[in-house]
Amino acid sequence: MRDHAQTEEDAEINMTPMLDIVFIMLIFFIVTATFIKEAGVEINKPPAVTAEKKDRASILIAITETDEIWINRKQVDLKSLRTNIEKLHAENPQGTVVVQADARSKAGLMIAVTEAVNDSGVPSVAVSTKEK
């Protein structure tokens, strides 16, 4: 009877290797995760027939239906837009700028935003639309 009780005490499961594996898997998923950038507001994009998919969009600029400009979940005005774009473009020079204009926003504001992007030295600007 005494031998049986002692073997049960010796039969504990060692959790250290399993914790090591879980920790390594956690590090792997954190390192390989991709992060989606968002402008910070919900935009009703206009439809387009000739839409093309663009990769490496590093700066997203959103124009709401009330003509507000948003970058990285922060509202900015048109005067400080060029400075913000230059700072973000310096962090990722290979990325492009994508303008997400609401279907009910003013076209003149979208043109002004596009000109601010061009003045900041970014070589490529795209306008985001939804598929028709």
58-96 per-position pLDDT tens digit:
788 999 989 899 988 889 999 999 999 899 888 888 778
Query: pLDDT, tens digit, for every residue of 84-130?
Result: 989 988 888 877 888 888 888 888 998 899 899 888 888 888 888 77
Residue 74 CA to residue 84 CA, distance in Å, equals: 11
**Helix (H), strand (E) counts: the chain:** 4, 7
Distances (CA, A) of 1 to 4, 6, 8, 9, 23: 5, 9, 11, 13, 40
Cβ 42 vs Cβ 86: under 8 Å:
no
CA-CA distance, 108 to 94, in Å (whole number)? 28
**For the sheet containing 125-127, what is the strand order?**
74-76, 69-71, 57-63, 96-101, 125-127
Rounded CA-CA distance 41/56 in Å is: 20
Query: Looking at the whole model, is its pTM more than 0.75?
Result: no
